[in-house]
Amino acid sequence: MRVVSMDEQGRGNPFQETFERLRARRWEMARTDAKERIARLEKLRRTIIERREALYQAIHADFRKPSAEVETTEVLMVLSELDHTIKHLAKWMKPRKVGTPVLLTGTRSEVRYEAKGVVLIMAPWNYPFQLTLAPLVAAVAAGNCALLKPSEKTPKTAAFIDQLIRDTFDPAEVTVVLGGAQESQALLELPFDHFFFTGGPKVGRKVMEAAAKFLAGVTLELGGKSPAVVDDTADLDAAAERIVFGKFLNGGQTCVAPDYVYVHASKEEAFVTKLRERVESFYGNTEEARKATPDFCRMVDDGQFRRVNGLLERSVASGVRVAVGGTVDATSRYIAPTVLTDVKPETPIMEEEIFGPVLPVLRYERLDDVVRHIQAGTKPLAMYIFSRDSKNVERLLSETSAGGTCVNTTVVHLSNADLPFGGIGESGVGNYHGEFGFRTFSHERAVLRQGPLSFLGTMFPPYTEKKKKMQRMATRLFE
């Protein structure tokens, strides 16, 4: 579809016609069976596989993301979601029979899954392919029509997605709108049946307001300062390796990246040494080698670079120590994989989600202090616990709240389609992946069927003494 500018469209909402086209098809899509929906998903799968090289090039052009990371965090994640959905969709779509209470003897009940209608999927720039296509898989599986709005910060990838969708779906079923904040605002003024947004809390609130105006469903996948805790029993080699991987993947621009690490004071020096060793083994032994490596991507734009670099500069000025990295280059939007020590909760780097390749390390003496700090902040999208002490693990799980948690690893919980992915509070509303995504884009409709045998007549007026007696007898069943 040709993207028309706001000025060219003239007065009125520029996407009203696009929306109406989708809405006109929504009942036809809702009536499709599992075989028809699977056929659409299989076509999408084939097209992605055919064009993966072009996708590598598009994302690299946007922010120099390595092809290996594109393969594992973008292509593989979407293909895995597709395969899991194709395998299980027929089962998910079947009406689910539920029990019948004694008072409703003679009836039978079930839960049916019906499409919500026309859904809006607004995607971010950090995983521009995965976080557009994975929700789409769920939306199509549930029988919806969908409008996709990729991020303008990754224009090459957005153009790739636009072409991919036009070559895969009927534009009356799935379509793409390109553009920036102005186009996004126009879309939020349309009465979608479900709004799905991945991004930051500030825009997330606007999306929730738009959904509230239409009393529509909403899913918000946001972020937050996801903590990692390394206690005095942890395997330091494993903890350092997995935290460095999760933190610096995608240049730190990952919503579930470990934002900061609390390490027991007795293990801090050894742990920081392990972090340095892992940064060197992953990206190069020197600052020059790390800047030259093709395996580390860049900040997506100048604004992102300035924000993260500003947090880094203010933190260093406040007295923290740069244990690893610290090198920056504004021309190429490069910020080196960086580890900071002597960090306090009031250090500038702790003010907001970093969303970049800077890892603050805080020391602790008592686990009570860690628990209090996490409880005092907003609920994060993820939490990572490194420990061999099951009591410490259980305490952190039971006394904190997070969208998801990994024990002795980081970020990989996203790749299990049998786990829900989503936040809580400031980190999000709702979840998806696998069957959870199918349910997110479905309405669970309660259906009760009355058979020839019924005791409901005892509840109908006129309320004779006989009926009152029977009603009292029924009540006693619950006393």
Catalytic residues: 221, 255
- Please check whether residue 184 is in contact with residue 122, taking contact to mean a CB–CB distance below 8 angstroms: yes
Q: In this structure, what is the dihedral angle of CA atoms 348, 349, 353, 359, given to the nearest 10 degrees? A: -170
Single out the residue of 431, 445, 446 nearest to residue 138, CA to CA.
431
SS3 431: strand
Q: Give residue 328's identity as a one-letter amino acid code.
A: V
d(CA 194, CA 191): 9
d(CA 46, CA 71): 15
d(CA 225, CA 373): 12
In sequence order, the 6+-apart residues with CB closer than 8 A to the CB of 294 are 66
Q: Which two tokens stand for residue 76?
A: 């593989």
- Please check whether residue 353 is in contact with residue 124, taking contact to mean a CB–CB distance below 8 angstroms: no
d(CA 412, CA 243): 11
SS3 108: strand
In sequence order, the 6+-apart residues with CB closer than 8 A to the CB of 50 are none
d(CA 195, CA 92): 22
Q: Which two tokens stand for residue 218?
A: 């909403």
Residue with tokens 């890892």: 359
Q: In what order do the strands lie in the sheet with 442-450?
A: 96-98, 107-115, 442-450
d(CA 386, CA 262): 10
Count of CB atoms within 10 A of residue 377's CB? 15
User: In angstroms, how far is the first alpha carbon of the chain from the final one?
Assistant: 64
Q: Which two tokens stand for residue 196?
A: 């799905």
Largest interatomic CA distance in the chain: 92
**Signed CA dihedral, 453, 456, 460, 463: sign only:** positive
In sequence order, the 6+-apart residues with CB closer than 8 A to the CB of 263 are 229, 230, 271, 361, 362, 363, 364
